[in-house]
Structure 1
Amino acid sequence: MDASEQPPADNLYVTDPDTDFEPVDELTEAAAREQAATLREALRYHDHRYYVLADPVIGDRTYDALFSRLETLEAAFELDTETSPTRRVGGVPLSELETVDHVAPMRSLDQSGEASDAREFDRRVHEALDGDEISYLCEPKFDGLSLEVVYEDGVYQRAATRGDGQQGDDVTEQVRTIPSVPQQLRGEFPDVLAVRGEVYMPREGFQQHNRERVERGEDPFANPRNAAAGTLRQLDPSVVAERPLSVFFFSVLESTVELETHSELYDRFPEWGLRVTDEAEVVADIDEALAYRDDLLDRREELNYEIDGTVLTVDDRNACDRLGSTARAPRWAFAYKFPARSEQTTVRDIVVQVGRTGRLTPVALLDPVEVGGVTVSRASLHNPAEIDRLGLDVGDVVAIERAGDVIPDVTAVIDSEHAGQYSFPEVCPACETTIERDGPMAFCPAGLGCPAQREQAIQYYATREAMDIEGLGEEGVAQLVDSGLVDDLADLYQLTAADLTGLEGWGETSAENLVSELGRTREPPLADFLTALGVPEVGTTTARELATHFETFAAVRAASEEELQTVPDVGPKVATAIREFFETEENIAVIDRLLDHIDPQPVETTGGDELDGLTFVFTGSLDTCTRSEAQELVERNGGAATSSVSGNTDYLIVGSNPGQRKRDNAAEHNVATLSEDELVALLDQHGIAID
């Protein structure tokens, strides 16, 4: 038995514990404190045996009795601690999920379902490593929700979803309730440890949870991944605690312990109390890696969790450092996907959905069919060209696959009683505007003049990445549109509290809060306004680049395609999309009405040269402002804000929960590191204040 698996010495509640406890009111505070500490130690050991080793040494009833006793002691003598097992029952509901920076990038993986692509990955690896012999760590590719978990001095500090890879949602309190996530590490753990894992809902737990939802009259989750993702984003941790979530850990993001191979984690993690899969295996070459994948595919249905492929990782970490990473994915790992599951059913109807940007997507309505344990009753047909390729019509028997094991697709017509195929409409089903084609795609060109696009545009306008209007979600927008109170974006700013309280579900407080939120957005930053308009091809990054370059909305709106292409990351396709958006008659009318109510604020400039020649890199979270706002402030004043430390970097700004790698690179390149207070002082020396 490994040392970390040894039971706590002289603990009364480990082996055959006596659960006939003396009355609480007969205990002194000192005795209660000692008993609570002994119970916490024992419960952590039992949690480790059950959730990590899958080898419990006591029964469920005995565990429940120990747990209940600890709850009673903590309540009676106010002995609760952050790392107590009782914290898993959930805490105070949150008002929203905050966004936090990751300690290190959580990158995606290059992936394919073709063996030839996996062999090409192997060829590139060997070529980059000058033919060195390498071995691969092979692991299941879990179909769940990726997670960052941070420990300091062995104590659980925080958890965050992957998000965009740089930032994610803070789900610390939700993850605290998951039994397979230890609140206190075991053994000889590192001082700082940030790990990556996958949250999932076991198949058995998923089926039971869906049964309970149906019995309560609620819609079942479509699949375990959706169930896990939806659960983790619950604002009430006690709801999360009631659902059967679990976690597998599989990589280190930051640590004060150096590891020579990735496979060492499968020894170290269990020693520290972190759960790992027992399906990982180190193989000698790509042929063995492909054989591992095929074997796992054959055994896929035997597992109690969903997987959609295997991950091949160069095991030697020094070799991985030599291979490096792109901005999106490491060059030393590859996901070899499984083929999608396929079943057959009948197409009962085809409807055409109108997207926010005007794209028309045909959707097949199907006789319900189970595909990989999920009941599917609709499937995307993507575009008119896909219907042409399939030769599809209503009434056809078709093959259904879950692409990526999530999104259902029609992949082939198996049996058709019709000579022809479905005729794609020539006009938009929402506004009857003549449809335009762009290659295989079909679009409604009416823009904000189309009711379907308009409603979705209002929904997007209110989202966090746009104007961030709290209290105005998808259901609220639909209610406002259906009631006739809102027809386009400008109508939002004419709403009164009295208008809203006349609708079902709206009280005086919620109505006044929404009107206040709308008032807050009457002078939005230009970048936020450009994002909120939903211009095709313009996301938050491009909107920021446009705002910085042109400074005012009038300048962006009037810019020619040639002028637009002088902006970083704006090529001919994006420039054409922007111009067409601002030249569409219906869009012009809506934007003009909107500008009667709001005033997009020009990008602030201060002369632009206070920080000229200085390059900053940020790591960790800041208190005085967000990291993004600090980067914008630096750039507004002539400096450069980059994502990685190099010999050209002047300052590394270190906030809370910083990444170790950037600090190591700063030391290597002799780059000055500043705390947040020192950054504020430096900016003050240049006459720059953080708002």
Structure 2
Amino acid sequence: MPDSAADLDGADEVDDDNPYVTDPDLDFRDVEELDEDEAREQAAYLREAVRFHDYRYYVLNDPVIADRAYDRLFERLRELEAAFDLEREDSPTQRVGGEPVEELGTVEHVVPMLSIDSSGDADDVRDFDARVRRELDGADVAYVCEPKFDGLSVEVVYVDGRYVRAATRGDGVTGEEVTENVRTIESVPQRLRGEYPDVLVVRGEVYIPKDAFQAYNRERVERGDDPFANPRNAAAGTLRQLDPSVTAERPLDCFFYDVLAAWDTDSGSGEADGESGDAGETSDDDTVREAWNGGDADVDALLDALAARSSASAGGINAGIEGLDTHWHEIERFPDWGLKTNEKDERVTDIEGAIDYRDSLKAEREDLNYEIDGTVLKVDDRAQCETLGTTSRYYRWAYAYKFPARAEVTTITDIVVQVGRTGRLTPVALLEPVEVGGVTVSRASLHNPEEIAELGANVGDDVRIERAGDVIPYVDEVVEKGSKGTFDFPDACPVCGSDVERDGPIAFCTGGLACNAQLVHALDYFTDILDIEGVGEAAAEQLVEEGLVADDVADLFDIDGETLAELEGWGETSAENLAEEMEAARHPPLGDFLAAIGIPEVGPTVAADLASHFGDLDAFLDASADDYEAVEGVGPTVARHIAEFRGNERNRRVIERLRDESRLGEPEAPAGEHAGDELAGETYVFTGSIEGWTRDELQALVERHGANATSSVSSNTDYLVVGSNPGVNKREDAAEHDVDELDADDFFAMLTERGIDVESGR
């Protein structure tokens, strides 16, 4: 066993005594039964074990415990960190995302991230090989071949084995800093494994797997949101979210494929790629060593020094570290460090092997669980790469052999405008059927009026249809005009005739639930969320067309059973079944109710957070936009949508009709019944331990009385409640944001003064 928990936390491999690695004991003692030393030691073992299981799952694709066991270990670690204030930045529990930012900053890359020249012609690839061998005086050249991922390229930086920064490629010299967003990706380790350089800068590709993309799009559609167009756009947009908690909810993944820089104090001067390793000291190296400071690095200064050193060398930095002399050796080392690589990577001995690799991968393309648009071939030997060098834009030692685009040309036969649940109008092109990527396509999205105007598209035009993966096809360009002018987007809703309003590029019907199209979607969504079987989209459309649901979803509960039984496709049995389903749905959980009524941008997860925060429907309805924004997971845009929905007189009438006892009745408060609003609008953070209370009990106490309890201090925090052995970081953050501190006695005294019976609130 390690000498201390601190030693264990820093271990590169799993300790033999760690009880949570194989066949873990999941029968944990209650948190309140542990003292701080026991909790700290158990948390250290759990962090190590969770990292190990992440490595087995994400890198080796060979898990050794069941998902349920992993979930219990993870939850236990979260319980301990919360109860004893043991949160650490590199803990696996911190992947949920940090505080939102106002905008993404930019950083200079340690090594420029250049582009790769490309072609889809095999002769161009052979010409590339001829140039390479000519520059290398006819030397033999081996190539490393990799899939060309259709994702987003990122630079990821590790200092002393710890994840410290990530940035998008940007213009190749600077990129957007996305450190907290990339931190949420499970396949990006917070700590490296094994023996690693003091500084390691790697290049990877962030993407969304096809199956995860399809599942996530299905969830978006089910909650009334528009599906993403394709995995690449979804990944790029997700990585640039200003709120990392949004990124954490989306299924990002990452492959690693290049060492951009590797620097080690013990390796000498830190040569540029391909140098012999015996160069003398340089001022650049002295600057790097000074910033390194014996391992106590000033990270920003260190990376600036490495960036300066990189610009002074012919290529990236490889500090003479053994085993990094070829690209293939780098790929072999990545899993040892805990970095995920692609199973299709391959080394070939000549250019014909690289061409065969591309053709073989093209044949497998549709079966892969990630999008690729070609292959990348790199000169394997790093010394040869250094000789070849770069242009201002491209690496001279790499080339992309691309696949033909998944695109076909067909004719637009009509353009229809669909009305969604929220009133959004979406133009859809109806097409002469055409096969694109193995799928017959007869309709394709035109997205919005602005997109139509940019394309200049109209009925009769020949257009190129693209399909990136198994997603909704879209019109990429007009190839040949077969019409005059551009499609005239309607000023009135095609379903109800209400005026159309524009919000930027998006068009909306102003008819609300008076628009039958919106009412049909709202009814289908409402019954789906409340698990009322028997009312799918077809039945919802029928009920609306028959006038049985004419004003809003509350009409569903007023339908006479005999009338329903007489409709086509129904009968006494199905009418009785629906009546039983509606009775079973009475008094739904508040979270389900808030999700079902169709507030824009509020799906089941956000609705559950709102229910937990406010406790009852009246408290929710009486809140302000600022109150909504104080809920974790709710940003300013969503808060504005909620406030506008709640303030709409028609929506309030629907809510009041639904909560009538003859229909749904009053929604049920979440577990831990709402006791009052004495602390409404306030936000509390707890640090340290308070005798007789667990962290969960304290948070539940203030939440039952209308407050919000969070795990980190921000400018929105009202009080930091400080127990024994408090965390230093939270107190420093409280001082920085001028947050009031309360000790346990003052905290309970304040609650009593506000009329809160503390003991009965347990």
Provide TM-score, normalisation by structure 1: 0.55
Structure 2 partner of 1:335: 400
Structure 1 partner of 2:411: 346
Cα deviation, residue 348, structure 1 = 3.6
Residue 293 of structure 1 pairs with residue 358 of structure 2: yes
Q: 1:310 to 1:90 in 2, by over 3 A?
A: same
Cα deviation, residue 345, structure 1 = 4.3
Cα deviation, residue 101, structure 1 = 1.1
Residue 322 of structure 1 pairs with residue 329 of structure 2: no
Q: Give the AA of the match of 1:338.
A: F
The 3-state SS of whatever aligns with 1:264 is: helix
Cα distance in 1 between the residues matched to 2:79 and 2:236: 33
Cα distance in 2 between the residues matched to 1:370 and 1:90: 41
Structure 1 partner of 2:60: 53
Q: 1:84 to 1:277 in 2, by over 3 A?
A: same
The 3-state SS of whatever aligns with 1:149 is: strand
The 3-state SS of whatever aligns with 2:327 is: coil
Structure 2 partner of 1:135: 142
The 3-state SS of whatever aligns with 1:83 is: coil
Cα distance in 1 between the residues matched to 2:452 and 2:58: 46
Cα distance in 1 between the residues matched to 2:171 and 2:16: 45
Cα distance in 2 between the residues matched to 1:478 and 1:409: 19
Spell out, residue by residue over 1:303-358, the C-alpha distance to the aligned partner (whole angstroms, 9 max, x if none).
1100000001000110000001001010000000001113464314699xxxxxxx
Residue 249 of structure 1 pairs with residue 317 of structure 2: no
Structure 2 partner of 1:83: 90
Contact 1:112 1:335 in 2 (8 A): yes
Cα deviation, residue 407, structure 1 = 8.0
Residue 214 of structure 1 pairs with residue 282 of structure 2: no
Cα deviation, residue 94, structure 1 = 1.7
Residue 179 of structure 1 pairs with residue 186 of structure 2: yes
Cα distance in 2 between the residues matched to 1:366 and 1:506: 41
Residue 22 of structure 1 pairs with residue 87 of structure 2: no
Residue 198 of structure 1 pairs with residue 266 of structure 2: no
Structure 2 partner of 1:308: 373
- Root-mean-square deviation (Å): 3.8
Cα deviation, residue 26, structure 1 = 1.1
The 3-state SS of whatever aligns with 1:125 is: helix
Contact 2:428 2:444 in 1 (8 A): no
Contact 1:98 1:169 in 2 (8 A): yes
Cα distance in 1 between the residues matched to 2:128 and 2:116: 12
Residue 101 of structure 1 pairs with residue 169 of structure 2: no
Matched ranges for 1:149-548 at <5 A: 149-256=156-263, 257=319, 258=321, 259-343=324-408, 345-348=410-413, 365-367=429-431, 371-372=436-437, 376-378=444-446, 394-395=459-460, 400-401=465-466, 408-409=475-476, 421-423=482-484
Cα deviation, residue 376, structure 1 = 3.3
Cα distance in 2 between the residues matched to 1:247 and 1:329: 23
Q: Give the AA of the match of 1:323.
A: L
Please say which of residues 35-44 and 93-102 is displaced more in the overlay.
93-102
Q: Give the AA of the match of 2:123.
A: S
Cα distance in 1 between the residues matched to 2:22 and 2:460: 64
Cα distance in 1 between the residues matched to 2:485 and 2:32: 77
Contact 1:345 1:366 in 2 (8 A): no
The 3-state SS of whatever aligns with 2:411 is: strand
The total of aligned residue pairs comes to: 414
Q: 1:403 to 1:423 in 2, by over 3 A?
A: farther
Cα distance in 1 between the residues matched to 2:238 and 2:218: 16
Structure 1 partner of 2:532: none
Residue 37 of structure 1 pairs with residue 105 of structure 2: no
Cα deviation, residue 7, structure 1 = 4.5
Q: 1:56 to 1:383 in 2, by over 3 A?
A: closer
Q: 1:110 to 1:57 in 2, by over 3 A?
A: same
Structure 2 partner of 1:462: none
Cα distance in 1 between the residues matched to 2:505 and 2:404: 39
Q: 1:85 to 1:369 in 2, by over 3 A?
A: farther
Instruction: Give ranges in structure 1 of 5+ residues lacking alignment.
Output: 352-362, 414-419, 431-473, 480-504, 511-691
Contact 1:402 1:408 in 2 (8 A): no
Structure 1 partner of 2:74: 67
Structure 1 partner of 2:494: none
Cα distance in 1 between the residues matched to 2:94 and 2:73: 14
Larger of the two Rg values belongs to structure: 2
Structure 2 partner of 1:673: none
Cα distance in 2 between the residues matched to 1:407 and 1:393: 14
Cα deviation, residue 29, structure 1 = 0.5
Q: 1:76 to 1:409 in 2, by over 3 A?
A: closer
Cα distance in 2 between the residues matched to 1:40 and 1:252: 27
Contact 2:255 2:342 in 1 (8 A): yes
Cα distance in 1 between the residues matched to 2:109 and 2:434: 40
Spell out, residue by residue over 1:243-292, the C-alpha distance to the aligned partner (whole angstroms, 9 max, x if none).
11100001011112532100112211100000000101111111111000
Q: Give the AA of the match of 2:391.
A: T
Identity between Structure 1 and Structure 2 (%): 60
Q: 1:317 to 1:210 in 2, by over 3 A?
A: same
Q: Give the AA of the match of 2:444.
A: V
Cα distance in 1 between the residues matched to 2:434 and 2:35: 63
Contact 2:159 2:200 in 1 (8 A): yes
Cα deviation, residue 241, structure 1 = 1.1
Cα distance in 2 between the residues matched to 1:341 and 1:237: 33
Cα distance in 1 between the residues matched to 2:452 and 2:485: 9
Cα deviation, residue 120, structure 1 = 1.1
Cα deviation, residue 395, structure 1 = 3.2
Instruction: Give ranges in structure 2 of 5+ residues lacking alignment.
Output: 1-10, 264-318, 417-426, 490-501, 508-623, 630-762
The 3-state SS of whatever aligns with 1:299 is: helix
Contact 1:369 1:377 in 2 (8 A): no
Q: Give the AA of the match of 2:167.
A: A
Q: Give the AA of the match of 1:260.
A: D
Spell out, residue by residue over 1:549-572, the C-alpha distance to the aligned partner (whole angstroms, 9 max, x if none).
xxxxxxxxxxxxxxxxxxxxxxxx
Cα deviation, residue 83, structure 1 = 1.0
The 3-state SS of whatever aligns with 1:265 is: helix
Q: Give the AA of the match of 2:183.
A: R
Cα distance in 2 between the residues matched to 1:478 and 1:393: 18
Cα distance in 2 between the residues matched to 1:219 and 1:273: 36
Cα distance in 2 between the residues matched to 1:279 and 1:93: 37
Cα deviation, residue 379, structure 1 = 10
Contact 1:180 1:246 in 2 (8 A): yes
Q: 1:379 to 1:313 in 2, by over 3 A?
A: farther
Q: Give the AA of the match of 1:143.
A: D
Structure 1 partner of 2:130: 123
Cα distance in 1 between the residues matched to 2:469 and 2:42: 50
Cα distance in 2 between the residues matched to 1:55 and 1:13: 17
The 3-state SS of whatever aligns with 1:138 is: strand
Q: Give the AA of the match of 2:112.
A: P
Structure 2 partner of 1:9: 16
Cα deviation, residue 64, structure 1 = 0.7
Contact 2:26 2:73 in 1 (8 A): yes
The 3-state SS of whatever aligns with 1:263 is: helix
Cα distance in 1 between the residues matched to 2:506 and 2:246: 27
